[in-house]
Structure 1
Amino acid sequence: MAQIVTLESSQFHPGEQAIQHLLRIPHRDNPTHYGLPLPLAYRIAQSPLVAFGTLDRQGRPWATIWGGEAGFCQPVAQGVLGVRATADARHDPVLQELLAVEGETSRQIIDDAVVTPEEEVGGGKLMAGLSIDLATRDRVKIAGRMAVGTATRTEPGLADLQLAMRVEESLGNCPKYLNKKRITPHIPKPQLVSEGAAGIPLPQAALDLIARADLFFIASKHSGASRSMDVNHRGGAPGFVRVLRNGQVEEEGGGGGSATTTTTLVFPEFSGNRLYQTLGNLHTDPLAGLVFPDFASGDVLYLTGRATVLAGAAAAACMPRAKLAVRVDVAEARLVRDGLPFRGAVVDYSPYNPAVRRLAAEKEEAPDAEPGGGGGGGGGVATATLVRRERLTPTISRYVFKIRQEKKRLRAWRPGHHVTLDFAGELDAGYSHMRDDDPQSLNDDFVRTFTVSRPVDPEAVVADADGDGSTTTGTGLIRDGAEPEFEITVRRHGPATGLLERWNTRVPLEIPVLGFGGAEGFLLAAGGGDGDGGDGKKKGGVQVFIAAGVGITPLMAQAAGVLAADGGRGLRVLWSLKGEDLPLAVDVLERIRGLGSVTKLFVTGEVGVEGRAMIATILGLGAEVLERRIGAGDVLAEGEKGSRKYYCCTGPDMMKTLLKWTGGEEVAYESFEY
């Protein structure tokens, strides 16, 4: 068996060292192997797919993916891999660049041309690869040079590719974020959809492919003394790659100047082996090539462009709740229909995949926090101290916090706004490479957002410096020295609410506040039933608030003001609640005078003797109680079409149903999936 030699830590190149220093990674040895140890060569031979990357004549990386069945790539000599695959002769950028003959264009390379690129420094065309077995979640990275290659034209647009790669470095990777798939071979019939700079902005088919993608491959390069390349995998839940922009934008300076067509993608960097080989390359040489395969259709999207590593504040400003992300400004794109020699059927998704993180630009309004206030224990604009806890039901509690301003005068929250709290200081247990007992915790930044269920005390608010604040509506600033209280009413679900539930309130619990904010479109209009209420509704219109469980919380801080404005003529509340949560209904209706008279409560599940007594109390508060599920007729019976607006705060399944029932109506909705 070949000897396995490990690189010393000094062999991390300057870009890798810079990223590790930026992220405060402790010293460690580089586990990359010289050459290709036999165990790694065996793993490659068992993989049905290998993603390869190389550089074009402009020095830009491109990536592709070949294969379809195990054995197409396997060792043929010590440190040498042989590849035999069916590939797209016309559109595959890696095939074209690897077999380009000096003096010819990349479209003239096919038809039994044998290429031995000895003219390159090091004796071969620079290339890298990543073997990947999605059935077993196994992957191996390789880097080196092409020794020889040839391609023979077969069916129209296809080539029988044969090449040999000298492997100079190799490394086995962990299985995190690999979504299991069953791979089968397929004979492609490639058709070009769009290409080149003319391929930007991306066509809708390419955007749809990205939105469905649960993985892509990225090629990068290191141009220092030891020239090398890297190809790696990025995976997650479908849609984890976000499109920041895709169209015409003005160049810097504006003023009616020229415009440039720009496509920009952003993806989060999840917790990995902390070698940061890809990010280290991008730190010193920002060019990158990406390939997005569509396993169901065989379509493939090739991209090359310029990458920017976003860390800390920069990452959070672009993608809230991300501590590390990469932005790719696409320079050239190529979309090919049915261009892949394989298909893949999803078997299972990785348990390590975090939920999809949307861009700040995709949110209606971000919290009123300082730049970079995205979490991760980085402090906040204020500190919230837990002062009281009240258990309302077996799973729902109210928590009252006192807020202390830190860095600057804090803008007060408006009724219906939310607060973003950073629990990392209490819950973050530090780095762990793998954690099979709790895989989701590895990428949990412990930042949580909760609706504030009580309006701010007007005595604690002053108008802002510009004079446009209002102490009556809570849009001013918190008074110097004031420590107003805010409350959240939440269901216990996950580590943050679990911490609040079990905390000994005799011991101070201080949590950084990252900001207050909310979607203005979800704020109810005061006096909406009499006149237009400032939101354009016709006189006599109604606002219909539909809630499920703790989805009532956005209304709790707003209802008193709305009821006081018109006596309840313009407000209707449809509230679905489980029998075990009836104490919450009693609490809310007792606290907000007059809310019962405009509320229909739909109760499901077991009620019991105590529940019957609570229903009697609720009826005494003026509410109507119906022991059944809410139906389409209930929703559409309130107000008249064209003069009503729905506000919905429910779980995702019920929300989909409500949106079907209210098709063509004005609907504002918000999630409470904390």
Structure 2
Amino acid sequence: MASYHSGEIAVQERAELSDEASFSLGAIGETVPAVAAAFLAEQPMIVVGGTDRAGRLWATQLTGEPGFLRAPDPRTLSIDALPLPEDPLAEVLTGAGDPALIGMIAIEPATRRRMRINGRAHREGDGLRVDLDQVIANCPKYLQKRDYRLLAPAEEEAAARTRSAVDSTELSADQQRRVRAADTFFVATASDRGDADASHRGGNPGFVQVLSPTLLRWPDYIGNAMFLTLGNLALNPAAGIVIPDFETGATLHLTGTAHTVWDADEIARVPGAQRLVEFSVEAVRDISAASPLRWTAPGYSRFNPPVA
């Protein structure tokens, strides 16, 4: 039976939401039901979180024509894609060695549906096979509506010729601007045993604050009370973020550490916040033209709190 680990339970108790968390436990399974398999087969993107060879957590995205995600059986996910060579998780997902513990989340912005899947990834030809440990139904709050198109082959080849990756240890002025303008990002965390998870965070532009070139803060809004992300952080502060540029296909990857802020006065200054999360940046990888997906302007979720 599904259960919470000690970090998740500690956060649920501190938030006084243990009863709600017990109810939400029913959304955690070990297999992909038929309706979820059909959902995955329709998606052009899945976000992946994992740990690199140096022990740093990163989040990234894999893309393809709908159908590139397949559940050949209820305990397996096949992904017909591999990370770009420039991707911070390329080495662990494409090289030889032990299976990589990864967390994944698939979202469908046009319908605001999403699901999380965690397991162990093995290289299999030109893709990945993931042996599943958890399949989690998620609530659609704070997800902005968008439609997508995939670049035509000639467009994708032209974009690939311009692709570049820039590394740094802090956010440049332009990168800070992009963070402040974001309405969506994805965060990867892991338990103290290394079991990885990937989650979505959304809000109106400005919901992510840039406190300095190496410090971000965002609100933790009302959710399903599972606290899978904050529970991992209670045991293991390592975290990774990817902020996709929906117009250009660029991806801004950050890795570092994060912690939950419980100070009532600080929380009260941020509309809608139940808690705050502060993320300390240790490394940045900015990849241009990383994705062949181009998305329409957002229709903001009616659940998004205002931004002060």
TM-score w.r.t. the length of structure 1 is 0.42
Query: Of the two structures, which has the highest relative contact order with CA contacts closer than 8 Å and spacing of 6 or more?
Result: 2
Which residues in structure 2 correspond to 1:246-395 (within 5 Å)? 246=213, 263-313=214-264, 315-316=266-267, 319=270, 322-357=273-308
Residues 73 and 83 in structure 1, CA contact (< 8 A), matched pair in contact too: yes
Say whether residues 1:99 and 2:94 are aligned partners. Answer: yes
Amino-acid identity (%): 33
Give the structure 2 partner of residue 132 of structure 1: 107
> Quick check: which has more Rg, 1 or 2?
1
Match of 1:15 among 7, 31, 37: 7
Q: What pairs with 1:22-101 in structure 2 (closer than 5 Å)?
A: 22-27=14-19, 28-29=22-23, 30-31=25-26, 32-85=28-81, 87-89=83-85, 91-100=86-95
**For the structure 1 residues 34 and 65, does the alpha-carbon distance in structure 2 shift closer, same or farther, using more than 3 Å as the test?**
same
- Show the 5 A alignment for 1:154-169: 161-169=126-134
CA spacing shift, 1:351–1:287, aligned 2, 3 Å: same
Is residue 194 of structure 1 aligned with residue 166 of structure 2?
yes
**TM-superposition CA deviations, 1:13-68 (whole Å, max 9, x none):** 00000100110113315221013233222222222221011111222211111225
Q: Give distance in 2, aligned partners of 1:348 and 1:215.
A: 12
What runs of 5+ residues in structure 1 fail to find an aligned partner? Answer: 1-5, 101-114, 151-160, 247-262, 358-674
State the Cα deviation string for residues 325-371 of structure 1 (Å, max 9, x = none): 100000100111211121111251111111124xxxxxxxxxxxxxx
Alignment-derived partner of residue 141 in structure 1: 116
Match of 1:174 in 2: 139
- Partner of 2:186 in structure 1? 217
What is the distance in 2 between the residues matched to 1:57 and 1:347?
A: 36
Aligned counterpart, 1:205 = 174
The 1-side partners of 2:109 and 2:30 are apart by 25
1 CA distance for matches of 2:91 and 2:175? 22
Tell me, in whole angstroms, the C-alpha distance in 2 between the residues paired with 1:98 and 1:193: 18
Deviation per CA, 1:444-497, whole angstroms, max 9, x where unpaired? xxxxxxxxxxxxxxxxxxxxxxxxxxxxxxxxxxxxxxxxxxxxxxxxxxxxxx
State the one-letter code of the partner of 2:305: P
Q: Deviations over 1:204-259 (max 9, x none)?
A: 221122122110000100124xx41110100011221110011xxxxxxxxxxxxx
1:53 and 1:265, CA in 2 relative to 1: closer, same or farther beyond 3 A?
A: same
1:236 equivalent to 2:203? Answer yes
What is the CA–CA distance in structure 2 between the aligned matches of 1:64 and 1:74, rounded to whole Å? 19
The 2-side partners of 1:180 and 1:217 are apart by 16
SS in 2 for 1:97: helix
- 1:97 aligned partner, one-letter code: V
RMSD after superposition: 2.0
What letter corresponds to residue 26 of structure 1 in structure 2?
S
The offset of 1:133, in angstroms, is: 0.7
SS at match of 2:104: strand
Query: Alpha carbons of 1:350 and 1:320: their partners in 2 closer, same or farther (altered >3 Å)?
Result: closer
**CA shift at 1:318, angstroms?**
7.5
* Structure 2 segments unaligned to the other structure (5+ residues): none
The change in CA–CA distance for 1:25 and 1:321 in structure 2 (over 3 A counts) is closer
Aligned partners of 2:221, 2:65: CA distance in 1, in Å?
29
Counterpart Cα distance in 1 of 2:71 and 2:82: 18
Between the two proteins, the alignment pairs up a number of residues equal to 297
